[in-house]
Amino acid sequence: MNTIDQVEVKNYYDLDGTLSSLNSTFDFIEAYLKYKKKPHRIFLAKAVNKVLRVTGYYDPYKHRSVRINILFRGLKKSHLEDYYEKIYKKRFLNSLTPLGKELLHKALATDVLITGCTEIPAKKIGELFNFKSVISTEFNYAKGKVVGIKTDTFGNLKRKYVSRCGEKMIYYTDDLPSEKHLVDIMDEIVEV
């Protein structure tokens, strides 16, 4: 039997509120759309969500999915990545929490970023921190353009992507209530 010192430790980090004060999906895409002078998409996404709420159909997972699809559909992956590198990266770096500042460039070979954030900008952010891997909401693409959500990792949906492999698992988050199912499998929780 392994002692705790012999067991590999794998740290899982949430992104929004834990490493950054931004909502990395919506702050990113809304800034991009304003930059590209396409604010009508932002208005449409908010209007659709209001209609869904007023009609009594409120499901945070479905609302988020609808909003992401309206905001991202048809946008070129390469344009989104370029925008992150040229403009958004600086804004992100200025939004780091104390833990984010401490961890920047110091992530261990076993550390994982697990976030509901969309793959753009999550994967770029993961590279910035040197995470071993990034688990994020992924898109389907056609001809280099976003056509919809492929896999969603929002809130409790993250649980599907984490499995035990004998290591000690530590989860860093700012939002325990919405990630209850993921928290249940971790050995240690660090609430920031």
Cβ 33 vs Cβ 39: under 8 Å: yes
Neighbours of 83 (CB within 10 A): 21
DSSP of the chain? ---TTTSPEEEEE--BTTTBSS-TTHHHHHHHHHHTT-HHHHHHHHHHHHHHHHTT---HHHHHHHHHHHHHTT-BHHHHHHHIIIIIHHHHHTTB-HHHHHHTT---TT-EEEEEEEHHHHHHHHHHHT-SEEEEEEEEEETTEEEEEEE---GGGGGGG----SSEEEEEES-TGGGHHHHTT-SEEEE-
* Residue-range domains of the chain with CATH: 9-191 (3.40.50.1000)
What pLDDT, on the 0 to 100 scale, is given for residue 166? Answer: 66
- Determine the Cα–Cα distance for residues 188 and 190; give it in Å rounded to an integer: 7
Q: pLDDT 10s per residue in the chain (192 long)?
A: 333 344 477 899 999 999 999 999 999 999 999 999 999 999 999 898 888 888 877 788 888 999 999 999 999 999 999 999 999 999 999 999 999 999 987 767 779 999 999 999 999 999 999 998 999 999 999 999 999 999 999 887 888 888 766 678 888 988 877 777 777 788 888 888
What pLDDT, on the 0 to 100 scale, is given for residue 82? Answer: 98
What pLDDT, on the 0 to 100 scale, is given for residue 145? Answer: 98
> pTM here?
0.86
What pLDDT, on the 0 to 100 scale, is given for residue 72? Answer: 97
